[in-house]
Amino acid sequence: MAQKSEMKISTIVNLWLDNIEISVEPSTYATYYCIVNNHIIKKIGDLDRTKLNKKLLDSFIRESYTGGRIDHKGGLSAKTIADISSLLTSITRFAYENGYIANEHFKLIKPKQNMREIKILTDKDQEKLEQYISNHFNYQTAGILLCLYSGMRIGELCALKVEDIDFNKGVLRINKTMQRIKNMDKNPKAKTKISINSPKSKKPRYIPIPSFIKEKIVPIYKGLSGDCYILTGSSKYIEPRSCRNMLARCLRESNIEEINFHALRHTFATRCIEAGMDIKTLSEILGHSSVGITLSTYVHSSYELKSKQMEKLQMFYEQSNVI
């Protein structure tokens, strides 16, 4: 290891990576590794550790926002910048606590992130999709139907096995998720690999299956071994990328405007609110750490619901005696 007097920022960053590897999921570590090597080390890694201060890092973040893309075609997204800022905060805290820099860790600038409008299925399009699923019912379309009525994430669906469904009680157990991540193995044969680990919430969650959905899926899974993946009915899995293509095909053949797979989760949350489900229950079903996340991110009122709610204002109009 280099002496502190001649230590570069890249050395500190790599020491930080080594330090956090055992405390995070492999998928999280792979994400951190890519951010660190594609952006932080590449831009400021060769600088001496004494240059590691708020002024340098704020300047680096601003430059990344305007021209930080690897292909040199503009700046990084606000989300990526926010991730970089968070990692730099952790890295500088680590550097200070281990005596690599003299100043205590500091809060770095973060660009404002605009909330993207997430598309959900309209009532009509959801009906068309469900009709398509009914006409082409198989393991894969059954998985889409389960997502529409459980709010599962795509990785959770891909990792779900028959043993994770209690058909008697009608309950899904979500205790793992599937991702394709950067292959961090020594001498890897491929750049990426499939990783199956615990879900975002870290602990298993249990989702009741509506009775009408249970009646639909029980026959197709009856008699299968518990270690069969529900999307294939065998020990072979379908990874998230293939699952996205599967949904795209269903939408295309149903003449529905394309949406991403995560929109099924948003659609589920919105339908639950429209049906009168309380936020606390919905938040637990979705596996959120707080009700606020559910409200701010996943609940989208449909135009039809907004219209009905606005009509309730009529009582105040009538009370004003204007008419």
Residues 170 and 257 in one domain: yes
Residues 143 and 285 in one domain: yes
pLDDT of residue 301: 56
Burial annotation 196-222 (CB, 10 A radius, 16+ → b, else e): ebebeeeeebebebeeebbebbeeeee
Q: Is residue 266 part of a domain?
A: yes
Q: Is residue 294 part of a domain?
A: yes
Per-residue pLDDT of 164-210, as tens digits, reads: 999 999 999 999 999 998 888 777 888 889 989 887 667 889 999 99
What are the DSSP calls for 106-125, one per residue?
Answer: -PPP-PPPPPPPPP---HHH
Residues 168 and 258 in one domain: yes
Residues 154 and 90 in one domain: no
Q: Which of 97, 112, 136 is the last residue of a domain?
A: 97
* 210 phi and psi angles, rounded to 5 deg: -55, 140
pLDDT of residue 320: 60
Residues 213 and 303 in one domain: yes
Residues 147 and 279 in one domain: yes
pLDDT of residue 177: 93
Distance of CA 88 to the CA centre of its chain: 22
Find all residues with CB under 8 Å of 305, minimum gap 6, and list them.
Answer: 274
Residues 180 and 144 in one domain: yes
Give residue 300's domain range. Answer: 123-307
Per-residue pLDDT of 243-288, as tens digits, reads: 999 999 999 999 999 999 999 999 998 888 888 888 888 888 888 7
Burial (0-12, 13-18, 19+ Cβ within 10 Å), 291: middle
Q: Is residue 11 part of a domain?
A: yes
pLDDT of residue 95: 92
Tokens 């615990």: give the residue.
198
Residues 51 and 135 in one domain: no
pLDDT of residue 176: 93
pLDDT of residue 32: 93
Query: CA-CA distance, 5 to 3, in Å (whole number)?
Result: 5
Q: Which of 56, 81, 97 is the last residue of a domain?
A: 97
> Distance from first CA to last CA of the chain, Å, rounded?
83
Q: Which helix (H) or strand (E) holds 195?
A: strand 192-197
Which CATH number covers residue 248?
1.10.443.10
Q: Is residue 236 part of a domain?
A: yes
pLDDT tens over the chain, length 323 residues: 555 667 999 999 999 999 999 988 888 898 999 999 999 999 999 999 988 888 899 899 888 888 878 887 888 888 888 899 999 999 999 999 999 988 766 777 776 666 566 788 999 999 999 999 999 999 999 999 999 999 999 999 999 999 999 999 999 999 999 999 888 877 788 888 998 988 766 788 999 999 999 999 999 998 899 999 999 999 999 999 999 999 999 999 999 999 999 999 999 988 888 888 888 888 888 887 777 767 766 665 556 666 777 777 777 666 665 55
Which CATH number covers residue 29?
1.10.150.130
Residues 149 and 22 in one domain: no
Residues 191 and 81 in one domain: no
Residues 43 and 136 in one domain: no
Residues 163 and 219 in one domain: yes
pLDDT of residue 105: 64
Q: Is residue 116 part of a domain?
A: no
**pTM tops 0.95:** no
Q: Is residue 204 part of a domain?
A: yes
How many folded domains does the chain comprise?
Answer: 2
Q: Is residue 286 part of a domain?
A: yes
Q: Is residue 109 part of a domain?
A: no
Q: Nearest Cα to 78, choosing from 91, 92, 90, 66?
A: 66
